[in-house]
Structure 1
Amino acid sequence: MKRCQPSLKTRLVARQLILQFLTVAAAAIGFIIFFVNSSLDGMYVEEAVVKVAANSIVRDAAGAPIVEVTPELAKLREESLDLWFAARLSDDSVVAFGQVPAEYAPLVPHLDKLSSADMRGQFDPFTLSALVRRESGPAGDMKIIAHGRVQPFTALITIASNLVATAVFLALALVSVVVTPMIITRALAGVIKTAEEAERIDAGRRGLRLSEDKVPREIGPLVRAVNEAFDRLDEGDDRQNRFIASAAHELRTPIAILRMKIDTASDKGLRSLLPDISRLATLSEQLLDLHRLDNGAPSDRIDLVALARSVAADLTPVLIAAGKTIEVFVQQPGMIMGNTGSIERALTNLIQNAVEHGGDEVIVRVNGPSVEVEDNGPGIPGEEHERVLEPFHRLRPRSSGAGLGLNLVKQVVDHHSGRITIAESPSGGAIVRLAFTAVS
């Protein structure tokens, strides 16, 4: 099973995310290393102690603030035996819990003059590490100075760095996932346009080239290389067409002279060569038909009924002389746009092919924009329906044909954006149907 290549968008977004992650991670690590090696040391107090302290301060019946040991406060005291805090309420009353250090005791009445503060003790057990915060609780608004669980300052930096790095990375990732595909789509708009131009290039529309000015500069060399390859292919095709046309033209005259001489000869041995001469003449005409097809544009308004009757009338004398019949049935009139000479030659080839390889009855049927030729011969096996349309393929190896008739018909149909199908007739013969696009 062929491995599916990831899209350019997927690869660019994934690699950009990896680069962003590594960049943010490196910045966070550098941030941590900087602060670890700086003068910012000591132990800091966790913020949770302030909220626990505020929720434990209530008022008694007289309205004085007191400390009530809540479950949260009891748990915090178990974890930090040197827990202490003091608070100055909005009514200037003061309340304390635990052993407030002597260094901070004079500060408690003036806590309202502080906005906030972070103080880290220098010596173990770091009881001078404290926070000053504004908080609200059951007793109202207050300013609290508190000491509880402490951690190294580097741990705070690590947590903060990780949080900031995660937030920055998520923001960048969101931008990458949403914005990068939009940027890539706009950047590759020229490439998509060039791909659409490439889809319109085929054997019947030569001369088209990819637009180099619509693609990014990095893809320009590829587009130029493709256009140069098209130039070489067109040049080779032109040489081949010129050779075929020249060879066919050069063959017509000697073949005509040879046929005339053999036709007037009295020697039966020479006259037996007439079928071979006819085969050469047919082959040269088919080569010329291929050349005309490449240079002819489907621009005529064609009445399929009139064309079918005209071709049948031209071939009737030959068929009658061979003891065969041809009939034209019109189920529905049809008008198409095309090259009259090419379609006329294609229908002639179908009838000649039916006469040569079919039975003694040929029916040409017109049904709207389609025309079909039916014979009562041995037919074409189902497995050969596609192969008989290939150049130089002959259903019977000893057949006198060159194997170009049905291939020429297919090329005419393809040139007119039509479709050719082969089916079995009720009599056991073959039905070859040409379907075109109708015009009003």
Structure 2
Amino acid sequence: MKGQRSRSLKWRLVGRLVVFETTLMTLFMVLVVGALWGTGYLVDDYEGGTLDVLKEAVARDASGELELRPTRELAQLRANASDLWFVIRDKQGHRLSERSVPKEFAPLLGVLDRISQARLDVNAGRHDRRPDALVKWENSAAGEVQIFGGTQGQMSLGRLITGVSMGYLFVILPLLFLMALAALVVTPLVVRRAMTGLGEAAAQAERIDVDQRGVRLPIEDVPVEVAPLVKAVNDALGRLDEGYERHRRFLVDAAHELRTPIAILTTRLVSLPPGPDKTRLLEDAARLSTLAGQLLDRQRLDQQRHHFLGIDLVAIARRVVADLAPLAFAAGYEMAFDAECGHLEVLGDQTSIERALTNLVQNAIDHGGRCGTIAVRVARAGCIEVSDEGAGIPVEQRERIFEPFRRLRADGRGAGLGLNLVQEIMRLHGGHVAAVDAASRGACLRMVFPPLRNAIA
């Protein structure tokens, strides 16, 4: 199923505004013409009806003389106007006439050469709009001719439609073009200004992250039409915050409740006689304790970002090795510690870094094959490496092992949270953790910290 393309609000508004303007202008023109037609202004008061019919009917015969073609409009004009009269002449002296010119206008026949255009009334005091006669030069099929005649004719519907079409083409369309151009320029500015508050809300939404709670989108400058959506998003964020807080409290309470029975179990296991069973039970108890600590550490992560202090990576690594060495020895490993400098200071949370390094060493104990050496190395460049001599990590799995609950083997020990917790801790400190090639051909996990504050040999 093909996804629908996103539609631009700007172009939707421009398109609909242009359609509205076109419809409105067309409707207005139709109403005006209809009103003029209905009131008789275009029919009864139109003075050029006779001239229009004669202009379209005049032509020349084979000898070049003026003649009138028998058009339908001419026949209708003669039927409706029993007193029809006219004189048609050209500049070459050809002349065509019908009936006698009324005596009131007869004196003008001798001076037509000096008349370009005239409206003639018998009574000077008339107030109606249509005159008694017209004199006008017109372009016709016979060339330029002068028509002198009465005003008995009326405007035809066809001529009205033609005139309206020409007016629409030369008046309305240019006006619509200017209005569309104005809409194209103004609408984006109006939309951009109206959506300023929505843009600020979107920018705030982009800053929302998993480790930020209590954030809400601003609604003050959001358009009224969009405000319900922003309010619904804020309500959803509130429900998510409440759900996260319930989840966090449950994990913290569960982890705290687990630590006491685990400590009691470990104490009782220590009192057992030495042997393989005791070793395996102690390892299982250590993993349970680590898991409880991991659950608590995950809840502490987002509270430590602004409370970093200077910590010594060498001292932390040495302390973790000393704490876990007995467990490694009991599992069949040797432990090695190497530091390129005596003091390596970075900004961070000591408890979190200790937990991350403990997880890496614990991971090496669980998956190192129970033989060889587990080496912890602190480099002056600002990294800590933990390597073993086990089967190693396949290249295609080196990114996925940091996913929560991801284990290389279905029968692997642990809950699959340790490496994910290390990744979160390093991300919180501005660094990263990665699986790299090891000289021992086993697994090697490297914690890389941001630029150092102080390193002493």
Same fold (TM over 0.5): yes
**CA distances 1:337-395 after superposition (whole Å, capped 9, x unpaired):** 43232122112211221233135242434364544433332111233223322222222
**CA distances 1:108-140 after superposition (whole Å, capped 9, x unpaired):** 59869xxx76789xxxxxx9654489xxxxxxx
Contact persistence 1:305–1:333 (CA under 8 A)? yes
TM-score (norm 1): 0.73
Aligned to 1:216: 223
2:296 to 288, 301, 308: 288
**CA distances 1:279-314 after superposition (whole Å, capped 9, x unpaired):** 222211111211222332253244545544554454
Contact persistence 2:321–2:376 (CA under 8 A)? no
Secondary structure of 1:215's aligned partner: coil
**CA distances 1:181-234 after superposition (whole Å, capped 9, x unpaired):** 111111111111101101111111112110111211121111111111111111
Is 1:413 aligned to residue 426 of structure 2?
yes
Aligned to 2:348: 338
Secondary structure of 2:292's aligned partner: helix
State how 1:162-241 maps to structure 2 within 5 Å: 162-241=169-248
Q: Tell me how far 1:333 sits from its aligned partner.
A: 9.1
Structure 2 CA distance, aligned partners of 1:369 and 1:174? 62
Contact persistence 1:198–1:210 (CA under 8 A)? yes
Secondary structure of 1:379's aligned partner: coil
**CA distances 1:11-47 after superposition (whole Å, capped 9, x unpaired):** 121111211121122122223333344322354669x
Contact persistence 2:118–2:134 (CA under 8 A)? no
Q: Which amino acid aligns with 1:8?
A: L
Q: Tell me how far 1:433 sits from its aligned partner.
A: 3.2
Contact persistence 2:374–2:386 (CA under 8 A)? no
**CA distances 1:143-186 after superposition (whole Å, capped 9, x unpaired):** x99549x9955233431233221022111110111111111111
Aligned to 2:361: 351
Structure 1 CA distance, aligned partners of 2:145 and 2:7? 59
State how 1:295-334 maps to structure 2 within 5 Å: 295-298=303-306, 299-316=308-325, 318-319=327-328, 322-330=332-340
Aligned to 1:3: 4
Is 1:243 aligned to residue 250 of structure 2?
yes
Structure 2 CA distance, aligned partners of 1:145 and 1:128? 16
The alignment of Structure 1 onto Structure 2 pairs a total of residues equal to 386
Is 1:257 aligned to residue 270 of structure 2?
no
Structure 2 CA distance, aligned partners of 1:337 and 1:257? 35
Secondary structure of 2:225's aligned partner: helix
Is 1:425 aligned to residue 433 of structure 2?
no
Structure 1 unpaired stretches of 5+: 50-74, 87-94, 121-126, 134-143
Structure 1 CA distance, aligned partners of 2:389 and 2:215? 45
Contact persistence 1:334–1:438 (CA under 8 A)? no
Aligned to 1:28: 29
Q: Which amino acid aligns with 2:337?
A: E
Cα distance change on mapping 1:323 and 1:266 into 2, 3 Å? closer
**CA distances 1:306-344 after superposition (whole Å, capped 9, x unpaired):** 544554454455545643233335499976543232122
Cα distance change on mapping 1:397 and 1:85 into 2, 3 Å? same
Contact persistence 1:302–1:337 (CA under 8 A)? yes
Structure 2 unpaired stretches of 5+: 56-63, 70-85, 122-131, 139-143
State how 1:7-22 maps to structure 2 within 5 Å: 7-22=8-23
Aligned to 1:279: 287
Q: Which amino acid aligns with 1:293?
A: L
Aligned to 2:398: 385
Secondary structure of 1:212's aligned partner: coil
Aligned to 1:39: 41
Aligned to 1:69: none
What CA RMSD, in Å, does the superposition of the two structures yield over aligned residues?
A: 4.1
